[in-house]
């Protein structure tokens, strides 16, 4: 365990670096489950994560020592349970704001919470809320960013890394510090009730927003246009004069790499 010189108020002020762990999210949830209080903003970073997870139990591949795989503990007790997707919006906005400073305007959020550069996956977010009653006591925010990895297994869909984009290595600690600061800024906006501004930033950076593309839902392939994201996180897609709402995994983006 170590303290560090991160510039934010609380996110990253307590940093735990682990050589190898199955999942940083699981490690942090176990810390929270123990009787010793864990301060908000605690970050668990793994040099090697052997059982990383994405949405819906998808595997997350990461070459040891090359990428950022970390989890942040937040305590969004101010957020009503039915508005939990607002946290997803804030985290996504924070990540994109940070990475745009590094990589430019190719950065997008692919609904619900993948980070894309052009048409390739740069990273992902897995938020696990620990709920009591109608309140979110703790939120464990798992984040994976491809940074210096250049080769990926064939089963990894359309990956890209910071190094592949910039053609040079990038300092992991510096990027972690910048990500923590940007996520904290967006989270404080959420806590202050500035959700409409966050939502506008989210839509502004939403992959395929307001332009026609091919999708697949069930056995149906169709050209549709993403028109928004509902308060509960459902994706709103218009086609053939209709607008339909989709939950996670109910709709597939058919881009040229998938």
The domain segmentation of the chain, as residue ranges, is 2-204, 212-253
For residue 83 the two structure tokens come to: 């508005």
Q: Give the integer Cα–Cα distance in Å for 121 and 106.
A: 11
Q: Give the integer Cα–Cα distance in Å for 79 and 124.
A: 22
Q: Give the integer Cα–Cα distance in Å for 14 and 164.
A: 31
Any residues with CB less than 8 A from the CB of 143 and at least 6 apart, and which?
68, 69, 70, 71, 72, 91, 95, 123, 124, 125, 126, 179
For residue 258 the two structure tokens come to: 């998938």
Averaged pLDDT for residues 184-196: 97
Architecture of domain 2-204: 2-Layer Sandwich (3.30)
pTM: 0.92
- Give the model confidence (pLDDT) of 9-55 as tens digits: 899 999 999 999 999 999 999 999 997 889 999 999 999 887 655 54
Q: Give the integer Cα–Cα distance in Å for 8 and 16.
A: 16
User: Are 90 and 79 within 8 A, CB to CB?
Assistant: no
Which 3 state secondary structure label does DSSP give 54?
A: coil
pLDDT of residue 53: 53
DSSP secondary structure letter of residue 230: -
Nearest to 251 by CA among 156, 83, 233: 233
Any residues with CB less than 8 A from the CB of 30 and at least 6 apart, and which?
none
Least confident of 128-137, 195-204, 217-226, 232-241: 128-137
Q: Give the integer Cα–Cα distance in Å for 258 and 256.
A: 6
- Give the model confidence (pLDDT) of 81-125 as tens digits: 999 999 999 999 999 999 999 999 999 999 998 999 999 999 999
Averaged pLDDT for residues 56-63: 57
Q: Give the integer Cα–Cα distance in Å for 39 and 23.
A: 20
């Amino acid at each position: 365990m170590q303290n560090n010189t991160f510039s934010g108020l609380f996110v990253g002020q307590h940093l735990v670096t682990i050589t190898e762990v199955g999942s940083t999210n699981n490690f942090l949830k176990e810390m929270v489950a123990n009787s010793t209080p864990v301060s908000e903003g605690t970050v668990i970073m793994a040099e090697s994560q052997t059982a990383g997870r994405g949405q819906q139990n998808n595997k997350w591949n990461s070459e040891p020592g090359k990428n950022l795989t970390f989890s942040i503990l937040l305590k969004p007790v101010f957020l009503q349970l039915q508005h939990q997707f607002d946290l997803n919006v804030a985290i996504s906005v924070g990540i994109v704001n940070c990475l745009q400073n590094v990589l430019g305007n190719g950065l997008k959020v692919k609904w619900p919470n993948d980070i894309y550069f052009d048409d390739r996956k740069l990273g992902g977010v897995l938020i696990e809320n620990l709920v009591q009653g109608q309140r979110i006591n703790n939120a464990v925010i798992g984040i994976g960013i491809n940074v210096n990895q250049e080769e990926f297994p064939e089963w990894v869909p359309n990956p890209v890394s910071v190094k592949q984009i910039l053609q040079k290595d990038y300092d992991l600690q510096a990027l972690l510090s910048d990500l923590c600061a940007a996520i904290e800024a967006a989270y404080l906006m959420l806590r202050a009730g500035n959700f409409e501004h966050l939502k506008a930033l989210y839509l502004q950076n939403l992959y395929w927003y307001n332009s026609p593309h091919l999708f697949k839902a069930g056995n149906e392939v169709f050209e549709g246009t993403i028109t928004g994201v509902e308060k509960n996180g459902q994706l709103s897609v218009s086609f053939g004069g209709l607008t339909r709402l989709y939950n996670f995994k109910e709709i597939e983006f058919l881009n040229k790499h998938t």
